[in-house]
């Protein structure tokens, strides 16, 4: 059975600190015949590496802030060609690891609202979804200004919504949260990621 590593992060609630991820991320992958390994990003790098090496693919989840291990992990996954799906902060870590200019604040139309994106033809994302436009959700207040990865989708105001590298087995980052969208297009993204584990 294939193993998926899901990065979990520290967060605060009611003045208490926890480590975890949103339940809907787990629910998505519980539908597939895979084993899930939760990997706290704040572990020592050698401990993260040990857990990552047990996995066939990695999901870089969202969160509020980066740590140094985010960028070490992205570079390792890329060099080892380990299937990688980045979500929100995970996508930003991917973009910033490859020549990203830095974070920018995005308008209120991106936070807790659905909005349209334009998808680049001949991209991995286009091959998965089969459309040039789609409606996505968002929970991000910052975005990435630029990157040397292929930008495969943007919002109409120019904010980067997806980055990728088609030369890899699967290296795709999404600014939105497909795990929170119950629709066929989101399913297609997760199915493509699962299929890449078999390559």
Is the confidence at residue 107, as pLDDT, over 70? no
List of residues 6+ apart from 21 with CB closer than 8 A? 6, 7, 8, 9, 38, 61
Residue-wise pLDDT for 112-123, tens only, equals 578 899 999 999
Mean pLDDT of the chain: 91
Its pTM stands at 0.93
Domains of the chain, each with CATH number or no CATH: 2-196 (3.40.50.880)
Q: What is the pLDDT of residue 115?
A: 86
């Amino acid at each position: 059975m294939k193993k998926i590593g899901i990065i979990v992060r520290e967060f605060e609630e009611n003045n208490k600190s926890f480590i975890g991820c949103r339940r809907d991320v787990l629910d998505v992958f519980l539908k597939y015949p895979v084993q899930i390994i939760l990997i706290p990003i704040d572990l020592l790098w050698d401990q993260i590496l040990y857990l990552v090496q047990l996995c066939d693919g990695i999901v870089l989840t969202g969160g509020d802030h980066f740590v140094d291990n985010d960028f070490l992990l992205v570079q390792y996954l890329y060099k080892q060609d380990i299937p990688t799906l980045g979500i929100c902060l995970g996508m930003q870590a991917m973009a910033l690891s490859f020549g990203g200019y830095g974070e920018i604040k995005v308008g209120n139309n991106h936070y807790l609202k659905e909005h349209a994106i334009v998808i680049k033809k001949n991209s991995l994302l286009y091959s998965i979804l089969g459309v040039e436009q789609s409606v996505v959700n968002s929970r991000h207040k910052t975005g990435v200004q630029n990157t040397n990865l292929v930008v495969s989708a943007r919002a109409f105001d120019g904010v980067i919504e997806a980055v990728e590298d088609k030369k890899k087995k699967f290296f795709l980052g999404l600014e939105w949260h497909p795990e929170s969208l119950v629709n066929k297009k989101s399913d297609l993204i997760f199915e493509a990621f699962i299929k890449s584990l078999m390559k």
